[in-house]
A and B are shown apart, each in its own frame.
Chain A
């Protein structure tokens, strides 16, 4: 396609002055994509009193930031945000726009895609830029948007070959976040907010938000228990092992649904994505949605009574046995060796 830009944009989500991790992860990914395009990376920051956030994004390699700072944007509401994003995207036609697949991003990105008639791919687990031949036509530098679909039974590569803007959402923890060694000089373009009669169609009456106390993403060792533990009582073995090795406890969705462990400790596609040094996967079959959240771990130890369990397909160490028998043995031996 002719006349496309080489701009990669990341919508930077923030709440009460704190940037969402996923936005920083996307900036890091965006930097790579922009380099591959020989293009530039821009952060888009909407909020109130958030200039410092626009500045903070430079640590993650942006070339410039677009800032809209206005009291109407203090808390996220769909219409003021989508209206301003629509305008920015329509006027600038960035080649790529990335959003976190958060509650906010999943409300905002589709509206912007709808308004600007852009393709939008949800929950990508990988983004690459490649030349593509599609229906016998050659396209240069398309964004390959790779995502699981159909309950995770398939992995699809989605492209948006014929539109100037390609949009995607990505879940938290999927991309890696890192600061660049030499940030670009700070350059912020402030765009004026334009008020509209639709701004107050939604009014926030009250809001509560709690920083999750659980820090699975940062834990070097994680012990994950699954439905195979059978009972909440048995699940205590997971805690015991975590205590012994200095790890965090987590669970599969089936374990969360069974009430063995809290939802904020769920690993997987609809939970947290982790990449620890070591993960124990115990009584877990290894469904794709689960693996999506943990297969990047450095070392995986799987314990499962079924030798055919798919989890063994990605494990580095496999122990075929019952959790109730293997875990206590492991703890005893480990404690003895540390003595």
Chain B
């Protein structure tokens, strides 16, 4: 039996960016972007689910993000995750990778009881690939990055195939270990229609608070208990639940890197010499290149 925790992130769809995405303070206006499940994290979840199927155990997913990240957590349920955690607090806003990894490592300690921690190699928005290794360091875990495949797990040792620069490597990793998974490792399974029917009504604490506020006959505690009993509760943690958390290490304030300046990319706009696609045009270009000793 091996238990996994998968770190999943909801990301703006950077391939389809339009409009003004940056706010004046240099942070990102995520509200303007469609949010998607970071694909490498989905592949990491797929690998965790395969381990569960092969060897038994549980799969928990955690994300640090705004309330709407619960949509992605539901998708994790649709794939087969057992438990989901939303780590959400205004105080986390503006966290860089160091602060993010700090919060995630505290949340992982809170969840506890794991053999594998999974992450994607990188999230397509920040694109740093730093959060996985930084989390491992904070948890005193060893790590295997750029994972392509888990070949087998025996006696608390996982045999893992990973990519390295210019080749591949097979390593034996003593558990517990943190793994970061690369694109193309495992095609994530489609959502199960049956699971969608069940888990589409999963709720976070924030969702339940809203319901309780709108209906004076309902008490929040009872609602939470009801959803827990039905296994439809997305555990929702804020700084107050992570008792050990040090407020000076989170958010913009706890982030050593600061965005000093952000510029939208503009083309340098040099003078391009237009060449007609005719024999004369191309011929003249070739002459020029030959004369300048660029060709020939």
Q: A residues within 8 Å of B by Cβ? A: 15, 20, 78-79, 82, 102-104, 106-111, 113-115, 117-123, 132, 134, 144-145, 148-163, 198, 200-212, 221, 245, 277-278, 288, 295, 298-299, 301-302, 310, 312-322, 325-326, 329-330, 333-334, 337-338
Contacts and interface: CB of A to CB of B under 8 A. Distances in A.
A210 B265 contact: no
B165 A209 contact: yes
A299 B173 CA distance: 49
Contacts of A205: 159, 170-172
Contact of B171 (A148, A204, A295): A204
B177 interface: yes
B125 A150 contact: yes
Contacts of B137: 82, 110-111, 114-115
Contact of A278 (B26, B127, B272, B295): B295
B144 interface: yes
Taking each of A110, A153, A156, A200, which has the highest tally of chain B beta carbons within 10 Å of its own beta carbon? A110
Minimum-distance CB pairs A-B, first 10? A151-B14, A321-B277, A313-B267, A119-B256, A122-B128, A209-B167, A110-B133, A114-B134, A119-B257, A114-B137
A255 B220 CA distance: 55
A295 B267 CA distance: 10
A82 B133 CA distance: 10
Nearest to B131: A110
Contact of A103 (B134, B164, B279): B164
18 contacts: A108-B133, A110-B137, A117-B256, A119-B96, A121-B257, A156-B259, A161-B258, A201-B173, A201-B174, A206-B169, A298-B294, A299-B289, A299-B294, A301-B285, A314-B268, A318-B274, A319-B276, A329-B282
Given A104-B165, A204-B171, A154 B267 contact: no
B98 interface: yes
Contact of A315 (B145, B272, B283): B272
Contacts of B265: 148, 152-155, 288
Contacts of A210: 166-167
B295 A158 contact: no
Contact of A107 (B143, B173, B174): B143
Contacts of A104: 164-165
Contacts of B129: 106, 110, 122
Contacts, number: 239
Given A160-B257, A203-B172, A103 B165 contact: yes
A106 B285 contact: no
A314 B272 CA distance: 7
Given A113-B134, A245-B295, A150 B166 contact: no
Nearest to A246: B295
Nearest to B138: A114
Nearest to A162: B256
Contacts of B255: 119
A329 B134 contact: no
B286 A333 contact: yes
Interface string B263-296: 1110111101111110101110111011000111
A310 to B, nearest CB: 6
Contacts of B128: 110, 120, 122-123
B127 A334 contact: no
A153 B17 contact: yes
B245 interface: no
Contacts of A299: 289, 294
Contacts of A316: 270, 272-273
Nearest to B267: A313
B124 A158 contact: no
B12 A114 contact: no
A104 B15 CA distance: 27
B126 interface: yes
Contacts of B270: 313-314, 316
B273 A317 contact: yes
Interface string B124-153: 111111111111111000111110000000
A248 to B, nearest CB: 14
Given A117-B98, A202-B142, A313-B268, A158 B258 contact: yes
A333 B285 CA distance: 10
Most-contacted residue by chain A among B17, B138, B173, B265 (CB, 10 A): B265
Contacts of A160: 256-258
B154 interface: no
A120 B125 contact: no
B218 interface: no
Contacts of A320: 274, 277
A220 B221 CA distance: 70
A3 B63 CA distance: 38
